[in-house]
Structure 1
Amino acid sequence: MIVSGSTSQALAGALARELEEPLATTSYDRFPDGELLTAAPDLDGADRAVIVASTVSSDAHLEVLQLQDAAREAGVEEVVTILPYMGYGRQDEAFETGQPVSSRAVARAISTGTDRVLTVNPHETGVCAFFEPTATAVDAAGRLAEPLPGGLTDPIFLSPDAGAIELAETVRDAYGTGETDYFEKTRHSGTEVDVSPSDVNVTDRDVVVCDDIVATGSTMSEAVGVLTDRGVGRVYVTCVHPLLVRNAYTKLARAGVEAVFGTDTIEGTSSAVSVAPALESHL
């Protein structure tokens, strides 16, 4: 039985179709005092509950805990928790004395109600070790090639830095042709960062910028602006997790981005492809 959190209803439906498993009825209510009540009344008699919920907010985290408990209350034998997007995943260390390791805190809470955890392309794979048992990181980056237009002109797939070049290589390999490279970042202060492609010639070539998360779009739009100054052809942005908060779309469009393609780990207007096929093989 596939059980959807409120943030991942489309993905849960896609996964139910992929697995040919039933999709549970779920309800998301709020009491007058603000407390949440998330329920799945179809779980009685189910052998397995696969909870699918991106934790994009504190409420979404609480929904996961409530759905896990509802499954246990219904006597479900196995609970699998899928976090398509793991909130707090970038807070994987204490940055100053007295601060928490937030990803560890939420991982510990989620671990108490589940038998297995899957999460898609965590920003730092080390966060998987915070779960008990250890979570499995599912790589869905190859899915980002699907919505790209065919016939890109001598394409270059660029990652945000050298450490993420494997993500660009995965998208390139799935697309079938192209070169890979990465942006170099030079930090001058806490807020001032220069971004530029390393060495590759982008003149009149189509570029696909590949990242795991695009949040505010500030760094990405700056990088695209550099490409435009160098006579690039078309520029597309792909990301596994399209957070795209505040005026991120506007920033990217003003920089010259043709389109932004993301997955349905975070459901929105840029969710051009589903990660359900990548998850299916782990279930």
Structure 2
Amino acid sequence: MPNLTDPKLISGNANKPLASAIARRMSMHRGMSVDLVDARVERFNDGEIFVEMYDNVRGEDVFIIQPTSNPANDNLMELLIMSDALRRSSAQRITAVIPYFGYARQDRRTKARTPITAKLVANMLVEAGVERILTMDLHAAQIQGFFDIPVDNLYASPIFALDIMTHFKDQMDDVMIVSPDVGGVARARELAKRINAPLSIVDKRREKPGEIAEMTVIGDVTGKTCIIVDDICDTAGTLCKAAEVLLENGAKEVHSYITHGVLSGPAVERVTNSVMKSLVITDTIQATDPVLACHNIRIVPTAPMFAQATLNIWNGTSVSSLFDVETLGPIYEGLYTV
């Protein structure tokens, strides 16, 4: 049944450019203006967060756009407080659009006396009044089971497939998809299937956390244009080392496609000085000035996909239809020609 209310978008401070881009895309798709709710999200002198909505949201279907990226705790608290403010303002339904879901790497107990923080965050979001989650490339798919509310997990691989088929269209026979570790094989295999490319794996063994003792390439990469695929790039140490190992094993050139460019600490410097020809990330996390200035980092937009997914949720239609390259092609028309 069609929704009788218009979708309302509100943005925190984590990634306002992405929120504005989603609003513009939704306006294009609907043929009528979709604006961000007029609100202020500010901090008191002691760091406490204050939220005030200036627009009426009573009975409205509201979407909060807020990745919980660095600073993760501040952005998470903004999201929780915005949800509480909307619930107390009688919003009909609150959907949290979390392009990058922070704390997702803490999804299990790896040793004694450690937390499962991803589950704690899930509980906090539900308690704050969130009734639905829309995110992209969760670090672990089972995190969806931490919620007792609907979770729509979008995938960047269809966007990456469009990008690869556009930028490597003259050398697709030489393209090989590479997983930087055994744990990411499923993600890499999915992209490899989409573009009909072979798959290789870089097996890494650690002596202790943060240190890579040994890397071994599983598969013949000789003369191949290798594309490393992963969901998160944090300090880029593993990524840059994997690129070196692939070239040592005969790869022609190395590129990387990473969904969430966390890129903390020395990451940008490492990428700049690495043997990688390019690092492609999405805009789920707002790019810093050093990232934007880096000559071998390129950003692909997710706003078209999030805008369509938001409209589909609002209309009560399929979100999984966005998992196919054929469906995304028209949405990204003008950006990619395959």
TM-score of the superposed pair, with normalisation by structure 1: 0.90
Aligned to 2:299: 272
- State the Cα deviation string for residues 146-180 of structure 1 (Å, max 9, x = none): 44423346111111233423322443455x45322
> Matches of 1:81 and 1:189 in 2, distance apart?
36
Shift of 1:106: 1.1
- Spell out the pairing of 1:84-103 with structure 2 (5 A cutoff): 84-103=99-118
Distance (Å, rounded) in 1 between the aligned partners of 2:56 and 2:68: 22
Aligned residue runs from structure 1 range 102-121, under 5 A: 102-112=117-127, 113-121=129-137
Deviation at 1:43? 4.0
Q: Tell me if structure 2 keeps the 8 A contact 1:144–1:263.
A: no
Distance in 1, matches of 2:178 and 2:53, equals 42
Alignment of 1:16-31 (within 5 A): 16-20=23-27, 21-31=34-44
Alpha-carbon separation, structure 2, partners of 1:80 and 1:152: 42
Corresponding letter in the other structure for 1:129: G
Higher helix share: 2
Residue 64 of structure 2 corresponds to: 51
Q: Which residue number corresponds to residue 131 of structure 1?
A: 147
Distance of 2:25 and 2:52 partners within structure 1: 24
* Residue range with higher mean Cα deviation, 269-278 or 21-30: 269-278
More divergent stretch after superposition (53-62 vs 225-234): 225-234
CA contact (8 A) 1:242 1:271 kept: no
1:13 counterpart letter in structure 2: S
Asked if the contact 1:142/1:170 (under 8 Å) is kept, the reply is no
1:194-233 matched pairs, under 5 angstroms: 194-200=214-220, 202-233=221-252
Residue 260 of structure 1 pairs with residue 287 of structure 2 = no
| Counterpart Cα distance in 2 of 1:24 and 1:54 | 17
Partner of 1:158: 178
Q: Residue 119 of structure 1 contacts residue 137 of structure 1 at CA under 8 Å; is this kept in 2? A: yes
Shift of 1:143: 1.3
Q: Is the 8 A contact 1:143 1:171 kept in 2?
A: no
Distance 2:150 2:90 in 1: 23
Distance 1:263 1:25 in 2: 26
The aligned residue for residue 331 of structure 2 is none
Alignment of 1:61 with 2:76, yes or no, is yes
Amino acid at match of 2:269: T
**Secondary structure at 1:182 match in 2:** strand
Q: AA paired with 1:106?
A: V
Which runs of structure 1 show a deviation greater than 6 angstroms over 4 or more consecutive aligned residues?
none
Quick check: 2:187–2:229 contact (8 Å CA) kept in 1? yes
- 1:275 deviates by 2.3
Gaps of 5+ in 2: 1-7, 28-33, 314-338
- Specify the SS of the correspondent of 2:77: helix
**Paired residue for 1:171?**
191
Tell me the distance in 1 between the aligned counterparts of 2:56 and 2:275: 48
Identity of aligned residues (%): 25
Correspondent of 1:76 among 88, 91, 96: 91
Against the structure 1 CA distance between its residues 40 and 107, is the aligned structure 2 distance closer, same or farther, given a 3 Å change threshold? same
Aligned with 1:16: secondary structure? helix
The unaligned stretches of length 5 or more in structure 1 are: none
- The answer to whether the 8 Å contact 2:247/2:253 transfers is no
Deviations 1:100-138 (A, max 9, x none): 211111110011211111221111111122223252322
AA at the equivalent of 1:205: K
- CA distance in 1: counterparts of 2:190 and 2:56, whole angstroms: 38
What TM-score, normalized to structure 2? 0.76
Letter in 2 for 1:198: I
Contact 1:48 1:78 in 2 (8 A): yes
